[in-house]
Amino acid sequence: MSSNKNTGDISLNFNGLVNFSATITAAGDYVVKGQLQIPLLRDNPGKPSAVQVVVKKNSTTEYTGAAGATGFSVAIPALVVGDVIHVITSSSNAIDNALNAVQCQVQIFQGE
């Protein structure tokens, strides 16, 4: 899935691996937080999840998560109107590509 939103503050839920973009409409410091539900080792012995989250400001990587992590939070200071925040989930493990195997909640908001 790929999408683009204009943002002050947003909260979204996704199923599957995604590439999401949000265009900033109010200048300031922002926080990008997320929670993931990923395939568990007990459900897939020998094939743990390898989902990885990358958060970018425009084309600059601000955060790269560890494979299999279930949450993230990154502060991105001094955004200006027109900057774009990208949240990308990807995986090299086929188990994560199954329909609805990965569920992700993302919040992008000013503050903190």
Q: What is the pLDDT of residues 29-87, one digit of tens each?
A: 999 999 998 877 556 666 778 899 999 999 999 999 999 899 999 999 999 999 999 99
Domain membership of residue 10 as a residue range: 2-110
Q: Specify the CATH number for the domain of residue 8.
A: 2.60.120.40
Count of structural domains, the chain: 1
**Calpha distance 37→98 (Å, rounded):** 13
98: pLDDT confidence band, cut at 50, 70 and 90?
confident
Distance CA 80, CA 92 (A): 34
Strands (E), the chain: 2-7, 10-15, 19-24, 28-37, 52-57, 60-64, 71-79, 84-90, 103-110
What is the C-alpha to C-alpha distance for residues 34 and 30, in angstroms, rounded to an integer? 13
C-alpha–C-alpha distance, residues 82 and 98, integer Å: 34
